Amino acid sequence: MCGAKEDGLVLSYSSIRTSPQERPRVLQLRSTGYPLLAVLASSLCAANPLCGQGFPPYVAPSQAIRPSKVFEAAETVARVGDQHIFQGDLEGDAYIVLIPTLEKMPAEEREKAESQIKAQVASLAQQVLRETVQRKLMYEMFLRTIPPDKLEEAKASIKERVGEQFAESLDEMVEKVKKADKSEYKDLTRQSSQLFRLAYVMKELNLSTTRELDLLLRRYGTSLERQQQAYAEDQLGRQEMYKQARSTAEVTYDDMVTYYQEHIDDFRVATRARWEQITIKFNEFPTKFDAGEEIAKVGNELFYGAPFKQVAKRHSHGDKASEGGYHDWTDWGDFKISREINEAVFSITPGELSYIIEDTEGLHIVRVIERQDAHVIPFADAQVTIKERIQGDRRNEVINKYLADLQDRIPVWTIHDESGSQEQIAKPSRTNSIR
């Protein structure tokens, strides 16, 4: 409890309990120091007969890139029929998974973790390669259904038509992701893993337009245009595949009961809450006392009936300030919020303002909107989800067989073939099936 109160009014900030606890971080990456940079510092003037005759001396760049790295992004890492897959495309898609975390990391911390980040990108690129090979297989089969003399005309028409569809589908996914809680992410990924990743980036970084998203993607080696092309290949390649998948057997009541019993953990919901929060950071004020005076003023506004959302937008320094301080469903003990805030959110009465909370970042006032105790979703409430998942699993089995048959008809090569990992990368598996 902080601040003296008189008839419920917060008058001033005088003393706050302290609890020296390190603030949790979203991504735990151990620091290994700054990466070694190859720097060319030699001058060519001594070996250049034109030096001293009015020609400026050669000035080496401060951070020269090794020649072998310059064209690494253009290296072909796989071929599917006549289509090439480049290293740069894989890394660009891999970075999309990490963008929300990387953008929130302090520059110094990110620089120290550079080697770990690169290792993680390389690992994700392997997974992206599998998905890309599968997509190219389906797209190659689609292209073979078009007469050669009509191919270019068809591609131009497809690009225009699918471009509009991509924009609409991405907007729809963004709205779904904004409204969904974490337990629903898996099902959204099943609908389209690509659109979900892009929509999640927009949600986490509060991007309001696709223009902002495109500029961000370009910083990480990809673009919205490339994503649109990948979406077109995926959608067109699925046409014949879906014809095969429609023949799956009907889902019975017994099928759903069996699935529910075997996957009961998927339907457990942890104790969770959603709330509003106003944060006053210490580093925004000369002294802790000044920060305390500011949070007291905020508390007075709330006490006299000012809308929480508007007050948060005006005063809060938190990352959710632009959304009125709204925090969606969060599980008890979530490491993304401090222990002090966690304790308050899961103890105060929903609808009431909290006391002033202090942690290592600053001072906070929260109001819990809703809280749920841990429970298991009843079978009756889960039937629709269960049926969709069973249909998805069966569809994936048919799709995997279809893709395996395509591989027998369309040649596939990857850079990993020499190490004997072609089967792992080129052939689909249940755990990495197309969504």
Q: Is it the case that residue 418 has pLDDT exceeding 70?
A: no
Q: Which amino acid is at 46?
A: A
Contact 14, 92 (CB under 8 A): no
Question: Percent of the chain, pLDDT > 70?
Answer: 78
What mean pLDDT comes out for the span 403-410?
A: 84
pLDDT of residue 419: 53
Indicate the SS3 state at residue 80. Answer: strand
Distance CA 416, CA 395 (A): 29
Contact 89, 102 (CB under 8 A): no
371: tokens are: 């809280």
> Is 180 within the bounds of a domain?
no
pLDDT of residue 245: 63
Please state the domain count of the chain.
Answer: 1
Minimum mean pLDDT range among 12-16, 77-81, 144-148: 12-16
What mean pLDDT comes out for the span 115-130?
A: 92
Indicate the SS3 state at residue 371. Answer: strand
pLDDT of residue 102: 94
19: tokens are: 């609890």
What mean pLDDT comes out for the span 412-422?
A: 69
pLDDT of residue 396: 82
Arithmetic mean of pLDDT over the chain: 80
pLDDT of residue 327: 92
Distance CA 222, CA 43 (A): 36
Q: Is it the case that residue 159 has pLDDT exceeding 70?
A: yes
Q: Which amino acid is at 14?
A: S
Q: Is it the case that residue 47 has pLDDT exceeding 80?
A: no
Q: Is it the case that residue 37 has pLDDT exceeding 70?
A: no
> Is 310 within the bounds of a domain?
yes
315: tokens are: 């005063």
Q: What is the pLDDT of residues 246-257, one digit of tens each?
A: 666 789 999 999
Helix spans in 28-150 (H) = 67-70, 87-104, 107-112, 114-143
> Is 243 within the bounds of a domain?
no
Minimum mean pLDDT range among 64-78, 123-137, 276-290, 394-408: 64-78
Which of these, 219, 59, 83, 183, lies nearest to 142 by C-alpha position? 83
pLDDT of residue 248: 66
Higher pLDDT pick, 49 / 417:
417
Backbone dihedral region for residue 333 (phi beyond 0: left; psi -120 to 50: alpha; all else: beta): left
Distance CA 143, CA 139 (A): 6
What mean pLDDT comes out for the span 194-198?
A: 95
Neighbours of 74 (CB within 10 A): 11
- Count the alpha carbons within 13 Å of 39 in the hemisphere toward its beta carbon: 5
> Is 323 within the bounds of a domain?
yes
What mean pLDDT comes out for the span 299-321?
A: 94
> Is 227 within the bounds of a domain?
no
Q: What is the pLDDT of residues 284-309, one digit of tens each?
A: 999 999 999 999 999 999 999 999 99
Phi, psi of 87 (to 5 degrees): -60, -40
Contact 43, 58 (CB under 8 A): yes
What mean pLDDT comes out for the span 233-238?
A: 87
Supply angle C-alpha 126, 129, 131, rounded to 5. Answer: 115
Tokens 């222990």 sit on residue: 339
What mean pLDDT comes out for the span 215-237?
A: 92
Q: Is it the case that residue 28 has pLDDT exceeding 50?
A: no
pLDDT of residue 52: 41
Phi, psi of 63 (to 5 degrees): -135, 80
Residue numbers of the domain that contains 289: 4-25+271-373
Q: What is the pLDDT of residues 327-369, one digit of tens each?
A: 998 888 876 789 999 999 999 999 999 999 999 999 999 999 9
CATH number reported for the structural domain that contains residue 315 in this entry: 3.10.50.40
pLDDT of residue 16: 35
What mean pLDDT comes out for the span 76-100?
A: 91
> Is 15 within the bounds of a domain?
yes
Q: Which residues pair with 412 in a beta bridge?
A: 80
Angle between helices 210-219 and 87-104 (to 10 degrees): 110
Q: Is it the case that residue 18 has pLDDT exceeding 60?
A: no
The confidence band for 3, taking pLDDT boundaries of 50, 70 and 90, is very low
Contact 207, 213 (CB under 8 A): yes
> Is 420 within the bounds of a domain?
no
pLDDT of residue 299: 95
253: tokens are: 């009541």
Q: Which residues pair with 51 in a beta bridge?
A: 55
pLDDT of residue 383: 95
Distance CA 192, CA 177 (A): 12
> Is 148 within the bounds of a domain?
no
β-strands 412-414, 272-281 pairing: unpaired
What mean pLDDT comes out for the span 44-64?
A: 42
